[in-house]
Amino acid sequence: MISNVTSCAISGIDGVVVQVETDVSNGLPSFTTVGLPDGAVRESRERVKAAIKNSGYPFQNKRITINLSPGDIRKEGTAFDLPIALGLLVCNGIVTQQALEGALVVGELSLDGSVRKISGVLSITLEAKKIGMSTVIIPRENSEEAFLVDGIRVIPVNSLSEIVEILNDLKKVCHERHDSIEQFAEYPIQIEDIKGLDHIKRGIEIAAAGMHNILLIGPPGSGKSMIAKAIPSILPELSHADQIETAKIYSVVNGKSPSTGSLLSNRPFRSPHHTISYAGLIGGGSIPKPGEVTLAHNGVLFLDELPEFKRSVLEVLRQPIEDGTVTISRAQKSITLPAQFMLVAAMNPCPCGYLGSKTKNCNCNDIQIARYQGRISGPLLDRIDLAHEVPAISFDQIQEKGRGDTSEKVRVRVNKCREIQEKRNKTEPNGVLNSRLNTKDIRQHCPITEDSEKLLKRCVDNLGMSMRGYHRTLRVARTIADLAECEEIQYEHVAEAIQYRRSSLLE
């Protein structure tokens, strides 16, 4: 007898439908799984056997063949335990094939028949809705995640016996769906917590408004990390579509959405340690998995102590910074993952950290300073839009109270600037933010005055500004003009944008 149960695998951050075909026939007892299963899938036969027996159902010692179709997609993980078990129960006459029509089933089985949570349930539920399935049967521990998707029936289960009773109409499904899309924002550090450094606050406001990359350079303890951690508090809240996309990424990687039963309205903030590998940063593995750049999608990727990262690790950032995506190619498959993030990097000006300090003497010689700063390649620096020197603040600045705008006020300006960009660039394929404008977009949306053009010409001719640097300067100037609600980019907008590239590292 043959049965067919619809299930789902994960490819990148998306679900891929898999048909679990079960054939039970006479012959020498065996249990074979085909269709490119990995070790965890092949081991499912032991979990399934024990779960069926310990749930009180008979297990036929016959020739059993499990086919996971399509056969050209690698299957991994434990999510196929439950559909395999149900397929065997259909062949044994315990459950009817008709009871599983329109249902997509995933879940890991324990030896006692209980159902454990899995990763990627949000992606699986979205895929089930996309292909027109009416029901998803999932572990109860993943139920709140699945409830984030409207328009599909969710049946959370605790055990194999429970789902058998539900399918045989012996137990009524308890619908627990509730309004689980709860928006909230938590900002442990806000911009008003930063004392002094008004010019730095202006720079991060511009960076947040256009999603521009920024580099902070300063001595130890000057507040670089604190500034970076305050940036999410001035970023606009995520749209519902972006919330779902972000939650999908975390569901696949962590087995849950960023916050259980809810979608975050504030953006991701990722701060990997400098010992991270390039696979951890970009993603990888024999079956490609998302890395930190994808986890930072729609948010901030903060690289503290930038020169301490391995150069090979930093160089792999070039593609995602430029394209907003990362492509991971392996012998078996190639996947493209989203990676539109705001890069915030911080570094000391020299190995000891006190080059240019007014309070402490620098002990580094010119060769040490050049070697330290040379750990960051020119092409990577050229992809950074703004650079700020963060000086050490005085005691009087630390004691300042009530000075400057709050995160809420700055966020209002940033939101207004984003609305201007969205209205102007809504037809563009590369997105609506100024940091994503291509050459054609720049010609169309970045009109400059004659004196501004002369200023840029002097920078290109006399300062050695690259073509990429020229375009990035125009993008920043466009954002500054949008913050000032000016349709045409004025001289002062260009001058300010150039000033942000006048760091000794970006010249």
**What does the pLDDT look like over 493-503, one tens digit per residue?**
999 999 887 65
Q: How many CA atoms lie within 13 A of 383 on its CB side?
A: 21
User: Which DSSP state fits 267?
Assistant: P
Alpha-carbon distance 189 to 192, whole Å? 8
Residue at 474 is within a domain: no
3-state secondary structure of 289: strand
User: Are the C-beta atoms of residues 286 and 39 closer than 8 Å to each other?
Assistant: no
Of 57, 75, 63, 65, nearest in space to 7 by CA: 75
**C-alpha pair distances (Å), 321 with each of 97, 171, 217, 314:** 49, 53, 20, 11
Using a pLDDT cut of 70, give the percent of the chain over it. 91
Residue at 444 is within a domain: no
87 and 222 share one domain: no
Residue at 454 is within a domain: no
303 and 213 share one domain: yes
Give the pLDDT of residue 229. 94
* Of the residues 118, 133, 167, the one at which a domain ends: 167
Section 418-437 average pLDDT: 78
Give the pLDDT of residue 260. 44
| DSSP per-residue letters across 175-243 | -------------SS-GGGS-S-HHHHHHHHHHHHHT--EEEE--TTSSHHHHHHHGGGGSPPPPHHHH
* Of the residues 370, 395, 424, the one at which a domain ends: 424
**Cis ω before 379 (30° cut-off from 0):** no
Give the pLDDT of residue 140. 93
| Overall domain count for the chain | 2
Structure confidence at residue 264 as a pLDDT band (50, 70, 90): low
Residue at 205 is within a domain: yes
418 and 272 share one domain: yes
* Of the residues 356, 389, 424, the one at which a domain ends: 424
Task: Find the length of the chain.
Answer: 507
217 and 121 share one domain: no
Section 380-391 average pLDDT: 90
Q: Output the pTM of the full model.
A: 0.89
3-state secondary structure of 412: helix
CATH code assigned at 214: 3.40.50.300
CATH code assigned at 26: 3.30.230.10
**Which amino acid type is present at position 301?**
L
Tokens of 170: 């012996």
The Cβ of residue 28 has, within 10 Å, a number of other Cβ atoms equal to 7
Residue at 459 is within a domain: no
| DSSP per-residue letters across 424-474 | HHTT-TT-SSGGG--HHHHHHH--B-HHHHHHHHHHHHHS---HHHHHHHH
Of 374, 416, 440, nearest in space to 209 by CA: 416
321 and 396 share one domain: yes
**Which amino acid type is present at position 467?**
M
Residue at 311 is within a domain: yes
What does the mean pLDDT of the chain come to? 88
**C-alpha pair distances (Å), 417 with each of 4, 230, 241:** 53, 19, 20
pLDDT per residue as tens digits for the range 3-39: 999 999 998 899 999 999 999 999 899 999 999 899 9
Alpha-carbon distance 199 to 203, whole Å? 6
Give the pLDDT of residue 414. 95
201 and 131 share one domain: no
Give the pLDDT of residue 364. 93
User: Which DSSP state fits 302?
Assistant: E
Residue 259 clears pLDDT 60, i.e. is over it: no
Residue at 25 is within a domain: yes
336 and 417 share one domain: yes
Range of the structural domain that residue 388 is part of: 191-424
User: Are the C-beta atoms of residues 97 and 19 closer than 8 Å to each other?
Assistant: no
163 and 197 share one domain: no
51 and 118 share one domain: yes
Give the pLDDT of residue 99. 94
355 and 275 share one domain: yes
User: Which DSSP state fits 156?
Assistant: E
pLDDT per residue as tens digits for the range 90-133: 999 999 999 999 999 999 999 999 999 999 999 999 999 999 99
Give the pLDDT of residue 430. 47
Section 72-99 average pLDDT: 94
416 and 281 share one domain: yes
351 and 233 share one domain: yes
Structure confidence at residue 255 as a pLDDT band (50, 70, 90): low
Higher pLDDT: 54 or 462? It is 54
Residue at 62 is within a domain: yes
